[in-house]
Structure 1
Amino acid sequence: MRSDARLGILLMTITTFVFAMQDGLSRYLAGEYNVLMVVMIRYWFFAAFVIAIARRQRGSVRAAARTTQPLLQIGRGLLLAAEICVMVVGFVHLGLVESHAIFAAYPLVIAALSGPVLGEAVGWRRWAAIGIGFVGVMVILQPGFGVFAPAAVFPLVAALCFALYGLLTRYAARRDTAATSFFWTGVSGAVLMTAIGLPNWQMLIGWDWAVMALLCVSGVTGHYLLIKTYEVAEASAVQPFAYLQLPFAAGLGILAFGETVAPNVALGAAIVVGAGIFTLIRTHRVRRG
């Protein structure tokens, strides 16, 4: 029964740290090898984990895969795979700090699109928070000051893809269980990445095999911890703490890759995160009536 908020917050904090480490490993490997191949191998392990979870929760793979909306489920999986590929490219060209600062706007995109996609009512308070959040994105991007960094497009596109993935996941939940959606997320993504990743295969060299193994383990561990988080606590209680991935990833970018945090990025990220947390809390209150 979901009741232990403290444990849930602790697990979410650990989860975001693990995912931040995964992003750092992805940034390193994608800087040395083809991005599609790196994401493909990561997805192979993710798919194996998803199938194992499906068999445990639903009794068989066939039961987990049973759905009346296969195109929707496949589309969700493909969107997530695309988001991961685009975001990893952003890590390489823009860095972990700025990529995560921009990507942090995805809850605001979800809130803005929840009306036209899901038919949910979005009140003036949430629209105000969405507007403030996008002002924060502009502060990060600094349009009009010098040349706009083309690489900033990558986390922006990734945020849009992830927001659409989140909305479609909520839409699919009206008729499918979480286990079914989780199964299709891993399997359809793995099929896509295998198709486009194998032609770009490159042999890993030396210790990079160990780095790749750590990447795969961190991905599985992160998703396992996330499942446990939602088993012990309400999503509304722990979701704001998902933003901790931003400072964790930023710290890794600074320590491991020599990145810096520009004042406009720090200010913009604070605005985006603040607006996002308000949106999450307001959305939860509206749903509870």
Structure 2
Amino acid sequence: MPPKTAPAVDRTGLAILLMCLTCLIFAVQDGFSRVLGQQYPAFLVVMIRYWVFAVFVIAMVSRQPGGLKRAIRTKRPVTQMIRGALLGMETVLMVEAFVRLGLIETHAVFAACPLLIAALSGPILGEKVGWRRWAAIGAGFLGILVILQPGGGVISLESLLPFGAALMFALYGLLTRKVSRDDPSMVSFFWSGVAGAFSVTLFGIWEWQWLAPGDWIWMAALCLFGMTSHYLMIRAYELAEASALQPFAYTQLAWASIIGILAFGDVLRPNVVVGAVIVVAAGLFTLWRQRVRSA
């Protein structure tokens, strides 16, 4: 009689909990970014944050098999550098949007990111996008129009900041999937931090100024929360598949809304609520269709 084997432990529940906690920490660090962005240039805030993030990344990959020598070696160096630059610039746009638009409207528009990934997966990755997903993408963009209310006048440059950030993050995600065919995740993680820090420094160094003593506390909290959130996100993706966790990333919109209202006095306008519901629903449908096709 063959020996009994222990049943596999399903850790998806723990991974979902970690993802929700990660989104809460992301929302809190967005609040820190807004506080600092109101006093200093966005490039300066992101540059200092990325310096610490790069050190964190180097420390993390150094503990992996092969260490830094393995992490540096990539079969797609140009694509990896573009990925890092996109992530860094996306962060700058988000900080600027937090200051100009607030947390609620910024995240409501940024929620279109999965729709942009679905729309661009064809030309970039050669994936086939069916009519159902195209319909969801169209509905999601209608939701964005509801949020921005272009009928009231010309869409302002400020309102396009989170959309530009969502587009950059979508391109970053698609390029990440592209390089994953040749490079392991450790290599991509290394290049995200180092290339991002380098690209942001090219612009941020010209904005250099010393922070006020009290503001260094905010910066330290921002960096600490940033490292913690990325570590928890890595652990979540180690425990469960991305398709199971991605829908819970939308909880960041709820946390950001609560923080925006309580800490900054943001107003939750009805059109933003309606538009955000449309965008999130379209995004969830797109993720579901992608999971069905993968199955």
TM-score, normalised via structure 2 length = 0.95
Partner of 2:198: 191
1:82 to 2:89 alignment: yes
TM superposition shift of 1:55: 1.2
Q: How does 1:70-219 map to 2 (within 5 A)?
A: 70-219=77-226
Maintained 8 Å contact 2:89/2:200: no
Counterpart selection for 2:248 from 229, 241, 245: 241
Q: How does 1:266-281 map to 2 (within 5 A)?
A: 266-281=273-288
The 1-side partners of 2:12 and 2:191 are apart by 29
Q: Residue 208 of structure 2 aligns to which amino acid in structure 1? A: W
Partner of 1:36: 43
The 2-side partners of 1:206 and 1:185 are apart by 30
Q: Number of residue pairs matched? A: 288
Structure 2: segments with no counterpart, 5+ residues = 1-7
TM-score, normalised via structure 1 length = 0.97
1:69 to 2:69 alignment: no
Percentage of matched positions with identical amino acids: 56
Partner of 1:257: 264
TM superposition shift of 1:148: 2.7
Higher Cα Rg, which structure? 2
Structure 1: segments with no counterpart, 5+ residues = none
Q: Secondary structure of the residue that 1:32 maps to in structure 2?
A: coil
Partner of 1:229: 236
Partner of 2:5: none
TM superposition shift of 1:238: 1.1
Moved more, 73-82 or 2-11: 2-11
1:53 to 2:83 alignment: no
The 2-side partners of 1:276 and 1:128 are apart by 11
TM superposition shift of 1:147: 4.6
The 1-side partners of 2:66 and 2:157 are apart by 47
The 2-side partners of 1:282 and 1:195 are apart by 40
Maintained 8 Å contact 1:99/1:155: yes
TM superposition shift of 1:3: 3.6
Moved more, 146-155 or 174-183: 146-155
Shift >3 Å, 4+ stretches: none
Q: Secondary structure of the residue that 2:223 maps to in structure 1?
A: helix
Moved more, 68-77 or 141-150: 141-150
Maintained 8 Å contact 2:97/2:106: yes
Q: Secondary structure of the residue that 2:268 maps to in structure 1?
A: coil
Q: Secondary structure of the residue that 2:128 maps to in structure 1?
A: coil
The 2-side partners of 1:246 and 1:94 are apart by 14
TM superposition shift of 1:171: 0.4
